[in-house]
Amino acid sequence: MNGSAHSAALPRRLLPAACALLVACAAADAAAKAPAKKPAWKPKPAPVVRTADGLSVSSKYRSPRNTQRRPRKTTRFIVLHTTEGAAKGSLEKLSANGECHYVVDTDGTLYLIVDKKLVAFHAGLSMWDGKTDLDGCSIGIEIVGRHDKEITAAQYATLRKLLSELKRTYEIPDRNVLTHSMVAYGNANHWHKYRHRGRKRCGMLLASPSARAKLGLQPGPSFDPDVKAGRLRNADPELARILYAKSAAVAAAPAPKGGAPAKTSAPAAPAPPAAPPRVQAVAKPAPESNVIGPGRSAWDIARDRYDDASTVYTFPNGRRKTGAEITSKEWRTMPAGTVVEVDAAGSAPENGNEGLLTIGVDGTADGLAGDAIASQSTFYFPEGKPYRTGATMSLSEIESLPSGTRMLVGYKAVGPVSPKRPVFSLCGVAWNRGDTYYWDPARRTLRPGDEITERTIPKDAMVFVRKD
Ligand SMILES: [Zn+2]
């Protein structure tokens, strides 16, 4: 249940958002309803709230994006992430962009980022069992740490309590507590000419049976339903081995080989001797080299950040380039011995690529849009020129767009705004969200919805809203 039905008519900023802390706190609610005549003095929310399970939640990094986010219609999954960076920078960035619901620091401190009822942008391009856009139906928890390192005892303790509370609140079964690496997928790129699993290794080790046991969770899924169904192909066998192979050993029944068992009237052949379940030692990831060589590509090392401006390539001849500067041809001829530094500046987002993107800063058009590069829902905004959709451009036109060109992926254009068609009638409460954009046709500029008021909507503005 959520408040969307009656709250849709209200501007989101008027809602008592503080009440969406772990446990709806009646005290805060009452405070919000207290005489609202003198808004000059704003009571600051208490920085720490204690939940029913005795868990302390700090709101020190509560995201300013809370006012722009819509409530989720359903909550079916919990997605676990690793920040891949230190606490402070990760907290600041996750808060600024509203990219998860909770962060668990190495000392076990729990931070609330986005209120648990609202949508946080944490999963990016994602799919599980045919369901896409997991942001719309999941809670995202970031754990400060790395995908290939064990987390701390204090983190296990906090996370276990938090999961217990969330599972109870939303009636989420253990099998729907997943890692980001399980649900993230990538569009076709230079290395994989198909939609693939393996875009991220985020949260990888949290899928291990030992980690799940410490978190009070039953063993996870024993196979990838989307790979099995052919919706995706597996581009990272080692990741799949870590996520699933060991679960097969403890699964009650072996999975049928080669898809559904064929119904046949032929006499039953004697059953082949059942292969003894191969009990594998818990899969340990191989050390991850950051040098390109036989069997190790830029994609293997940097994943979906291979063409980020924050990823730096040092070639054997000493020359350096960022991922955003490398051409299509150079990807194919990258020499062995090239050293790849992901997040060389130490500040790149783990999730990233949400909302407005910039060619040459966030990556190339190809890398950012994947197989949506020439789609009707991809929009390009070359500086000082009219915008165009990918569907009206040739690939060579798109690839020659100058660095600095902005783009939106997975959007639809509604409008233009006119006296007969006010913006609220075009896109409802999305009108002032930070991930909604206004195109001013006279000035040829783009502004986010959270910088727009009813008075500053540009004349004849075209409005770009996320496709849901
Ligand atoms: Zn993640």
pLDDT at position 144: 96
CB atoms under 10 Å from CB of 400, counted, come to: 10
pLDDT at position 116: 96
Q: Distance (Å, rounded) from C-alpha 244 to C-alpha 217?
A: 15
Q: Distance (Å, rounded) from C-alpha 249 to C-alpha 286?
A: 21
Residue 150 burial class via C-beta count within 10 angstroms: exposed 0-12, middle 13-18, buried 19 and up: middle
From ligand 1's centre to the CA of 253, what distance in Å?
A: 31
Contact present, 408 and 389 (Cβ < 8 Å):
no
Q: Which of 131, 76, 139, 135 is nearest to 104 (CA)?
A: 139
From ligand 1's centre to the CA of 121, what distance in Å?
A: 10
From ligand 1's centre to the CA of 100, what distance in Å?
A: 9
Q: Which of 116, 117, 308, 304 is nearest to 195 (CA)?
A: 304
From ligand 1's centre to the CA of 311, what distance in Å?
A: 17
Q: Which is more confidently placed, 175 or 325? A: 175
From ligand 1's centre to the CA of 87, what distance in Å?
A: 15
From ligand 1's centre to the CA of 122, what distance in Å?
A: 7
Q: What is the pLDDT of residues 183-215, one digit of tens each?
A: 999 988 888 888 999 999 999 999 999 999 999
Residue 308 burial class via C-beta count within 10 angstroms: exposed 0-12, middle 13-18, buried 19 and up: buried
Q: Distance (Å, rounded) from C-alpha 162 to C-alpha 173?
A: 14
Work out the widest C-alpha separation in the chain, in whole angstroms.
Answer: 84
Range in 154-158, 186-190, 302-306, 368-372 with the lowest mean pLDDT: 368-372
Q: Which is more confidently placed, 264 or 430? A: 430
Beta bridge partners of 71: 118
pLDDT at 314 over 70: yes
Q: Distance (Å, rounded) from C-alpha 101 to C-alpha 148?
A: 22
Three-state DSSP class for 128?
A: strand
pLDDT at position 95: 94
Average predicted confidence (pLDDT) for the chain: 80
pLDDT at position 448: 85
- Which position has the token pair 């994602």? 126
* Tokens, residue 320: 């350096």
From ligand 1's centre to the CA of 84, what distance in Å?
A: 9
Contact present, 306 and 292 (Cβ < 8 Å):
no
Contact present, 311 and 302 (Cβ < 8 Å):
yes
From ligand 1's centre to the CA of 25, what distance in Å?
A: 29
DSSP letters spanning 270-308: PPPPPPPP--PPPPPPPP---B-BTTB-HHHHHGGGTT-
- pLDDT band at 161; cut points 50, 70, 90: very high
- pLDDT band at 367; cut points 50, 70, 90: confident
Three-state DSSP class for 44?
A: coil
pLDDT at position 19: 37
Three-state DSSP class for 441?
A: coil
From ligand 1's centre to the CA of 390, what distance in Å?
A: 28
Three-state DSSP class for 440?
A: strand
From ligand 1's centre to the CA of 304, what distance in Å?
A: 12
From ligand 1's centre to the CA of 11, what distance in Å?
A: 30
Q: Distance (Å, rounded) from C-alpha 208 to C-alpha 283?
A: 8
Q: Which is more confidently placed, 467 or 84? A: 84
Three-state DSSP class for 79?
A: strand
User: For domain 4-250, is the CATH number 3.40.1350.10?
Assistant: no
From ligand 1's centre to the CA of 128, what distance in Å?
A: 15
Q: Distance (Å, rounded) from C-alpha 46 to C-alpha 28?
A: 9
From ligand 1's centre to the CA of 138, what distance in Å?
A: 13
From ligand 1's centre to the CA of 438, what distance in Å?
A: 29
From ligand 1's centre to the CA of 364, what distance in Å?
A: 21
Query: Angle at Cα 359 formed by Cα 403 and Cα 361, nearest 5°?
Result: 90
From ligand 1's centre to the CA of 382, what distance in Å?
A: 30
pLDDT at position 301: 85
From ligand 1's centre to the CA of 185, what distance in Å?
A: 12
Query: For 421-439, what is the mean pLDDT?
Result: 87
pLDDT at position 290: 86
Q: Distance (Å, rounded) from C-alpha 441 to C-alpha 105?
A: 45
Residue 351 burial class via C-beta count within 10 angstroms: exposed 0-12, middle 13-18, buried 19 and up: buried
From ligand 1's centre to the CA of 350, what distance in Å?
A: 6
Q: Distance (Å, rounded) from C-alpha 287 to C-alpha 324?
A: 26
From ligand 1's centre to the CA of 179, what distance in Å?
A: 8
CB atoms under 10 Å from CB of 246, counted, come to: 23
- pLDDT band at 12; cut points 50, 70, 90: very low
From ligand 1's centre to the CA of 146, what distance in Å?
A: 10
Q: What is the gyration radius of the CA atoms in the chain, in angstroms?
A: 24
The full length of the chain comes to 468
Q: What are the structural domain ranges in the chain?
A: 4-250, 298-341, 357-466
Q: What is the pLDDT of residues 228-252, one digit of tens each?
A: 999 999 999 999 999 996 654 444 3
Q: What is the pLDDT of residues 246-259, one digit of tens each?
A: 654 444 334 444 43
Buried b / exposed e over 411-438, threshold 16 CB at 10 Å, is bbbbbbbeeeeebeebbebbbbbbbbbb
Percent of all residues in the chain with a pLDDT value above 90, rounded to a whole number = 48
- Which position has the token pair 């081995």? 241
From ligand 1's centre to the CA of 269, what distance in Å?
A: 47
Range in 47-51, 66-70, 445-449 with the lowest mean pLDDT: 47-51
Range in 18-22, 34-38, 176-180, 194-198 with the lowest mean pLDDT: 18-22
